[in-house]
Amino acid sequence: MSEVIEWDIRVPLVSNVYVLVDILIALILVSGALIVVVLYVTGFIDVYGVFRLFLIADGVLIVLLFSVLGLVFTNRFQLLYRLDSYGVLVQVGEFESSLNRMAWSITGFVQRYGVTGGRVFSMINEELYVSWDKVSRVVYDERRRVASLISEARPVMRVYCTTENVHLIFNAIQRYIPMPEE
């Protein structure tokens, strides 16, 4: 029988480096693709004007996004983890208000039925499970107490630890991740 470790943690959103980087990467990719399409459609006539327009739009979008993260989600997100010999399960904890629940429901709906379609690792019904065989490597950040589980080239889950269990969780993950072949 395998050891099961369960814990919950409230993760900051606005001051979280990983959230910020993920948002910026998504924004750069989407804006870059839209810029190329707009420039192609307009015949590359006003490159400076198009870049300026997207820079302003991205700035407004970032302010709105951080307002939602700070005000609607109150800059904290509760996550419940369950780690065992088969994988890691993370579930979204209770929300502080019905406004948070509504915002999360809208986000889940857009992820499932959006233009990009469903992804294997998208969070549906407020939970995400990643089995160890889907993880090719792990990046540990002891200072921030985060283990990033990576499948090939992209992170599939970030495991946030408390101050008390960080070493226990990191050691457990090291036991379960298949060793890379050299």
**What 3-state DSSP class applies to 79?**
strand
Is residue 181 a part of any domain in this protein?
A: no
pLDDT band at 35 (very low <50, low <70, confident <90, very high): very high
- Let me know if residue 182 belongs to a domain: no
* 3-class secondary-structure state, position 141: strand
Query: What is the rounded distance in angstroms from the CA atom of residue 32 to the CA atom of residue 35?
Result: 5
CA distance 7 to 44: 53
Q: What is the pTM of this model?
A: 0.75
| Residue 19 phi, psi (nearest 5) | -65, -45
Query: For residues 28 and 122, which has the higher predicted lDDT (pLDDT)?
Result: 28
Domain assignment of residue 132, yes or no: yes
Q: Which residue has the higher pLDDT, 91 or 97?
A: 91
Provide the number of structural domains found in the chain. 1
In a domain, 149, yes or no: yes
pLDDT of residue 86: 94
177 vs 145 pLDDT, higher one: 145
Mean pLDDT for the stretch of residues 71-81: 83
